Amino acid sequence: MAFITSIGTAVPQHRFSQETLAGFMSRAMELAPGDERKLRTIFRASGIAWRHSVLSDYGKTSDYTFYTDGFDPFPTTQQRLDVYRQHACRLSLSAIDNCLHNTSFSADQITHLIVVSCTGMYAPGLDIDLVHALNLQPSVNRLCINFMGCYAAFTALKAAHAYCATRHDARVLIVCTELCSLHFQREGTEDNLLANALFADGAAAVLVTNHPATGVNFRLKQFNNMLAVNGTEHMAWNIGNAGFIMKLSGYVPDLIRSGIGTLTQQLLKPMQKQVADIPYFAIHPGGKRILEVIEEQLRLRPEQNAPAYRVLHNYGNMSSPTVLFVLKELRDTLSRNDHGKAVMSFAFGPGLTLESMVLEIECA
């Protein structure tokens, strides 16, 4: 058995309201009045109040440190990845410290390190930087999961589950770190308007072991995934000359609507359960409409989705760490009375990939 025994999160110090971000992006994109109204409407309807960034520029009107006054030239991919390298390790360490702070583990006991990111890469990479910064054993097993997008935390948890199945003393540290705000795109396309309204920076770390710790744990019980083959063109993530480019169509909620029922049925069938048997949910808030569509299809009440709405409101979509923020939000509300109850979790990403899992609450 494998258990999530601790979860830690971290965000950069720079916090911006949606109104502030809309003003910056409207200026940078040089939008015509009609397009600016469209952008502000999208921002207001996002369900997001605040987002964080490693860049201070989003709160300025001039004297930028990353962007250029007049926004010409726009930062290159190399410049963006240089900033990623400056900040990713520091933010990851904050999440790890938050994760391990109240545990009995020291970092040198970690047997496996899984590092997840789709917003930057370099080699030797973030995994090796973390090994040095944390003084992990040189023999620690390392796995990097790159460019899988918002559902990548599920891939990491599956890997951690497999590690625990093959080694009784496995202590797996997963770190998901994304600096989405580095990849702001200037062109006023529909894809860019949507992406610019949603994405933010953040990191989350989880510890997975074969034995529960004192307090509330999540047992990794069941996984299922599905590929919506007709969704390839609606969500994608490509490398351009001026940053990573998000393909994010407004049809994504419709694709999720068509697949979420089958995905859920396949997930629950081996457990002989129905959605009505699941009291708690931790759904990746890819956007407000996505949460609403899942509620409609699975007949959930909005209050059952409250952890996802709170994360969306306070942080926006941070890609891979976001669902772990939701799990932590939920975990902080649970008590010993919830022992044995189930949690259903979903996340979605390029492909279009739909990931799901069931966790069982274990109170020790």
What's the pLDDT score for residue 183? 96
How far is residue 237's CA from residue 350's CA, in Å, rounded to a whole number? 7
Q: Output the CA–CA distances (angstroms, integers) from residue 112 to 134, 135, 136, 293, in the order listed.
A: 13, 13, 10, 37
Domains defined for the chain, CATH in brackets:
3-209 (3.40.47.10), 216-363 (3.40.47.10)
**Is the entire prediction scored with pTM above 0.85?**
yes
**pLDDT over 90 percentage in the chain:** 80
**AA identity, residue 335:** S
Task: State what percent of residues in the chain have pLDDT above 70.
Answer: 98
Inter-residue contact 331 to 7 (CB < 8 Å): yes
115 DSSP β-pair partners: 144, 175
Closest CA to 116 of 162, 164, 157: 157
**Would you state the pLDDT for residue 129?**
98
Cβ atoms of 118 and 245 closer than 8 Å: no
- Average model confidence (pLDDT) across the chain: 93
Going by C-alpha positions, the residue among 182, 230, 179, 177 that lies closest to residue 206 is 177
> What's the pLDDT score for residue 335?
92
pLDDT of residue 262: 87
From 13-17, 50-54, 335-339, 352-356, the region with the lowest mean pLDDT: 352-356
Q: Which of 9-13, 62-66, 327-331 has the lowest mean pLDDT?
A: 62-66
* CB contact at 8 A, 185 and 298: no
Lowest-pLDDT range, 85-89, 91-95, 236-240? 236-240
pLDDT of residue 218: 98
List pLDDT tens digits, range 208-253: 999 999 999 999 999 999 887 665 666 778 899 999 988 776 657 7
Q: Which residues are bridge partners to 243 per DSSP?
A: 240
- pLDDT at residue 256 is higher than 90: no
Contact 176, 326 (CB under 8 A): no
- Given this model, what pLDDT does residue 132 score? 97
Q: Which residues pair with 4 in a beta bridge?
A: 208, 218
In single-letter form, the type of residue at position 319 comes to S
